[in-house]
């Protein structure tokens, strides 16, 4: 479509729409190109027909808007995240309604670091699904390890940081240092071999895997699958101290404990001897107080027992005397004399007791005993 200008005397003036159409027409003549940059501001909605994001030049900060039909974007299955580096193949275009310049993407490919990040993310999801990162499988670190394994690079500042911290906190600690490659294509295999060798040492209770900071590429060995699995399968707890606080290689997730720095790893594996002695002193004082309370408690019990034993003969004698008096009272109540005292009498005929009046004959002589004394009597008559 031909773009017509408005005539104002000798001046040609274009309306905004006409100007945008003209520029868009010229831009459409440009060829398709590949553009490299980092993905930022990725935006998509179910109601939108296109996916939008911005390509940023990390060196200069320049930005370029990108759009791509949603169906094409989803078919690539890239799962792009902000910060990934990509190559975008497309054609420049101008959206006439708003005058927005953008790149109409036809294809997208990861490039450099972005490709590594995507591969790591896939491996991370795979190992997590197998349970290698499950917190439930992580083991507690020993309080007083008999021997400590330290896997580190030769001439590494990380090694010195760990050793200095361990010796300062707990001088009696025994550390077995295993130096190996910690960077480059041979590092993962070398670290796995060292881990397996250390695990076979007697009395080894914990292993520290230490490396100082570095670039993303420098730390890639610590995210290799074979090394991550070796850390998870190590028969003793493993402390990962790789990189700085912001670095999170996959071995950090598989290790039983993660230290933000090698120095922090030294603090994790051994106690502070000064603090330990203070704890022992507090425990000793607590035991002494406990023993003192027990001795006092048992002393009181002995004192009470002594008092009871001292009073026991008198109490026993009193109980026996009361028992005898009670028995005597019962005997007195049940004795013949007691019966006589209550007004009864005992009648004898010769040497036999008279229990039935019918056994006596009138005129027969009987002996009668009362409460005080006795007397003789003659039977005048008997009654039934």
Query: Does 6-111 match 118-274 in CATH topology?
Result: no
Lookup result for tokens 């040497």:
351
Domain 118-274 has CATH 3.40.50.10550: yes
Judging by DSSP bridges, how do beta strands 204-211 and 147-152 pair with one another? parallel
Domain ranges of the chain: 6-111, 118-274, 338-378
Q: How far apart are the first and last CA of the chain?
A: 161
What does the CA dihedral 69, 71, 76, 78 come to, rounded to 10 degrees? Answer: 80
Determine the Cα angle at 81 with ends 118 and 210, to 5°. Answer: 55
* pLDDT for res 332: 73
Q: Is there a contact between 326 and 357 (Cβ–Cβ < 8 Å)?
A: no
* pLDDT for res 157: 84
Domain 6-111 architecture: Beta Barrel (2.40)
pLDDT by residue for the chain (384 residues), tens digit each?
567 778 787 888 888 888 888 888 888 889 999 999 989 899 989 899 999 999 998 888 899 999 999 999 999 888 888 778 889 999 999 988 888 999 999 999 887 665 667 778 888 899 999 999 999 999 999 999 999 999 998 766 888 999 999 999 999 999 999 999 888 888 999 999 999 999 899 999 999 999 887 777 778 888 899 999 999 999 999 999 987 767 678 999 999 999 988 899 999 999 999 988 888 899 999 999 999 899 888 888 888 888 888 888 888 888 888 888 888 778 777 777 667 667 677 878 878 877 777 778 787 887 878 778 887 888 788 877
What pTM does this model have?
0.52
């Amino acid at each position: 479509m031909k773009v017509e200008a408005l005539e104002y005397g000798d001046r040609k003036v274009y309306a905004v729409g006409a100007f945008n159409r003209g520029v868009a027409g010229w831009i459409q003549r440009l060829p398709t190109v590949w553009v490299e940059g980092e993905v930022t501001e990725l935006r998509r909605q179910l109601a939108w027909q296109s996916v939008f994001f911005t390509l940023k030049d990390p060196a200069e900060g320049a930005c370029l808007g990108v759009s791509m039909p949603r169906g094409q974007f989803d078919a690539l299955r890239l799962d792009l995240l902000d910060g990934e580096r990509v190559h975008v193949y497309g054609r420049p275009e101008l959206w006439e309604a708003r005058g927005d310049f953008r790149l109409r993407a036809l294809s997208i490919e990861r490039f450099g670091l972005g490709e590594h990040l995507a591969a790591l993310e896939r491996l991370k999801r795979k190992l997590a699904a197998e349970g290698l990162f499950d917190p439930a499988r992580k083991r507690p670190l020993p309080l007083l390890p008999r021997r400590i394994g330290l896997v580190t690079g030769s001439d590494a500042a990380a090694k010195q940081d760990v050793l200095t911290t361990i010796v300062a906190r707990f001088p009696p600690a025994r550390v077995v240092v295993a130096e190996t490659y910690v960077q480059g294509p041979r590092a993962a295999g070398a670290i796995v071999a060292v881990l397996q060798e250390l695990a076979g040492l007697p009395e080894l209770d914990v292993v520290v895997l230490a490396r100082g900071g570095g670039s993303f590429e420098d730390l890639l060995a610590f995210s290799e699958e074979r090394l991550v699995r070796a850390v998870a399968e190590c028969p003793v707890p493993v402390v990962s101290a790789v990189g700085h606080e912001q670095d999170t290689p996959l071995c950090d997730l598989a290790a039983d404990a993660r230290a933000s720095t090698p120095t922090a790893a030294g603090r994790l594996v051994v106690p502070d001897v000064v603090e330990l002695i203070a704890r022992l002193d507090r425990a000793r004082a607590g035991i002494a107080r406990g023993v003192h309370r027990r001795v006092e408690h048992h002393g009181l019990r002995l004192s009470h027992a002594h008092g009871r034993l001292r009073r026991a003969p008198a109490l026993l004698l009193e109980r026996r005397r009361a028992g005898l008096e009670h028995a005597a009272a019962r005997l007195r109540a049940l004795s013949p004399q007691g019966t006589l005292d209550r007004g009864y009498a005992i009648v004898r005929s010769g040497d036999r007791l008279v229990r039935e009046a019918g056994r006596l004959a009138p005129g027969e002589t009987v002996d009668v005993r009362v409460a005080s004394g006795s007397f003789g009597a003659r039977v005048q008559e008997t009654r039934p």
